[in-house]
Amino acid sequence: MEILDPSIAAEVADKLLEIQAIRLQPEKPFTWASGWKSPIYCDNRLSLSYPEVRNLIRDQLVKSVSHFFPTAEAIAGVATAGIPQGALIADKLELPFIYVRSKPKGHGMENMIEGKVTPGQKVVVVEDLVSTGGSSLKAAEDLKNAGFEILGMVAIFSYGFDVANKNFSDAGVKLVCLSHYDALLPRAVERNYITSETLESLAEWRKDPGSWKQ
């Protein structure tokens, strides 16, 4: 995983905390669909309701695409949360936009990919959040199978799990994120969302989320 700018990583983390798109509850953990206990819950879709934050994220994702993937010919959003972010980026860059479903539509053309499919086109995939990378990389694989050339992926936030880094490396997909867990924690302490005493527990969760507080 790479980031464009450490100062932007801190600013984005700060804004996500401010609008409560990211919530930290180490003493009352959330339960993910996987069954994992987690001290953090991230819903970046909330950023769409705050123009200042929405524009910050859009502009920095645009910069990330332009810097890391300057030969991009199209933008692909991952359904559902990557769709609005991807559309905003494509509009700003004046590039074609498509999006990838998690499974084929159950009626009509039964499309997996919505929009014009152009084999050989160089595409950047857009996600809002990366955890293990499973669903994100499946979308990239579906695009590849449709004939697209995958340049890489950009996302708003990553938990920074080792398993995600390995999955992206094994798949040969470059991941660029605006912010991540390590940038978040110092901002959370400064804003008094957590205390310095809880940092150790939060660090332990990231190392082994599957067994944390089980």
The length of the chain, given as a count of residues: 214
- Does 135 count as an annotated binding residue? yes
- Does 142 count as an annotated binding residue? no
CA distance 39 to 181: 12
- Does 107 count as an annotated binding residue? yes
- Does 116 count as an annotated binding residue? no
CA distance 83 to 65: 16
User: Phi and psi dihedrals of 212, rounded to 5?
Assistant: -65, 125
- Does 131 count as an annotated binding residue? yes
CA distances from 186 to 17, 19, 100, 180, 196 (A): 12, 17, 35, 11, 9
- Does 127 count as an annotated binding residue? yes
- The residue to which tokens 């708003």 are assigned: 156
DSSP 107: S
- Does 134 count as an annotated binding residue? yes
CA distance 206 to 146: 35
CA distances from 157 to 40, 73, 149, 164, 174 (A): 12, 24, 24, 12, 15
- Does 80 count as an annotated binding residue? no
Angle at 182 between CA 68 and CA 194, to 5 degrees: 145
- Does 105 count as an annotated binding residue? yes
- Does 61 count as an annotated binding residue? no
Show binding-site residues. Answer: 101, 105, 107, 127-135
Show binding-site residues for 5-phospho-alpha-D-ribose 1-diphosphate. Answer: 101, 105, 107, 127-135
Show binding-site residues for orotate. Answer: 131
